[in-house]
Copies of this chain bind each other. A is one copy, B any other.
Amino acid sequence: MDRTVNIGPVNINKSTFTVIAGPCSIESEEQFLPTAQFVHEKGASLVRGGIFKMRTQPDAFQGLGDQAIALVKKMKESLQVPFIAEITDPRQIDLLMPVVDCFQVGSRNMYNYELLKELGKYQIPVLLKRGFSALIKEWVKAADYVISSGNEDVILCERGIRSFEGPLRNTLDLSAVAYLKAHTSFPVFVDPSHGTGRPELIIPMSKAAVACGADGLMVEVHPNPDKALSDGFQALNYESFGSLMDQLRPFLSLMNKELSHG
């Protein structure tokens, strides 16, 4: 049986397809609010935006924190769209709770069971990204840490695994998506931005994600990717995101899925 997860007014189930879009990091009002409005108009039903960023280098930009939270409040007041952000520490729960409709657990924290157990105590959905080299069964067991603490609303998100390949940032493992859809009840999303790290591959791999059964996408969009403070190299600009949404629709029809409403 397929699981249904509701994020505010957004219903995630086998008949819907949900697009999450927005910038990697929330950088400023001028960057965040127009992007949120644009992606929502084009069909995204959840807005994303990094508040606390996990970065490999301690001295890289780590997110705006409190300042970003204020911008999210402003965005939600004007647009009434649900919002998702990454949580990296149980001690951020109280801070993020007022603005977040779904907690994202990033690849680096997929094995952070203390965080997962803590998130299991709240009734806010959790989008759990796959670890860099997590076995499918480890990923499903990590989801079980949330569920066994009391929260059934878990979405899995494939974002590429680490392989030997050079020109691509990761190897987007769509067969894991097909496998999870065949053998578990979880909604499964795909992040083609991290999954490929190359803008020119995001549209073809997003279509492929739909075709193999994915229930949603998480995509990075920035008004000016070249100026982004983090991961700009893999962000779509407005035009490309619009084109992605246009190209996805006929594939969704073939799969008997409709864009979920935000």
65-123 of chain A: CB within 8 A of chain B:
88-91, 107-109, 111-115
Of A12-20, A30-38, A135-143, the stretch lying at the interface with chain B is A135-143
Question: Given A111-B54, A182-B201, A205-B212, does the pair A175, B196 have CB atoms closer than 8 Å?
Answer: yes
Asked whether A173 is an interface residue with its Cβ less than 8 Å from the other chain, the reply is yes
Query: Taking CB as reference atom, which chain B residue is nearest A192?
Result: B175
Residues of B within 8 A of A133 (CB): 132-133, 162, 164
CB distance from A254 to the nearest CB of B (A): 5
Interface centre among A134, A141, A208, A209 (most CB of B within 10 A): A208
Q: What copy number does this chain have within its complex?
A: 4
A131 CB–B CB distance under 8 Å? yes
Residues of B within 8 A of A109 (CB): 111-112
Q: Is the CB of A204 within 8 A of B178?
A: yes
- When A172-B174, A207-B211, A254-B251 are in contact, do A113 and B136 touch as well, CB less than 8 Å? no
Q: Does A145 contact B (CB under 8 A)?
A: yes
A28 at the interface (CB under 8 A from B): no
The answer to whether A58 touches B171 (Cβ under 8 A) is no
Q: Mark A133-175, 1 if CB is under 8 A from B, else 0.
A: 1111110010011001000000000000111111110011111
CB under 8 Å from chain B, chain A span 179-214: 179, 181-182, 195-196, 198, 200-201, 204-205, 207-213
A165 adjacent to B141 (CB under 8 Å): no
Q: Which residues of A contact B (CB under 8 A)?
A: 54-59, 88-91, 107-109, 111-115, 131-138, 141, 144-145, 148, 161-168, 171-176, 178-179, 181-182, 195-196, 198, 200-201, 204-205, 207-213, 250-251, 254
* 23 A–B pairs (Cβ distance < 8 Å), ordered by A: A54-B113, A55-B113, A58-B144, A91-B91, A109-B111, A131-B132, A133-B133, A137-B166, A163-B173, A164-B164, A165-B173, A165-B176, A174-B205, A174-B208, A175-B205, A178-B196, A178-B204, A181-B204, A182-B204, A204-B212, A205-B212, A208-B211, A211-B251
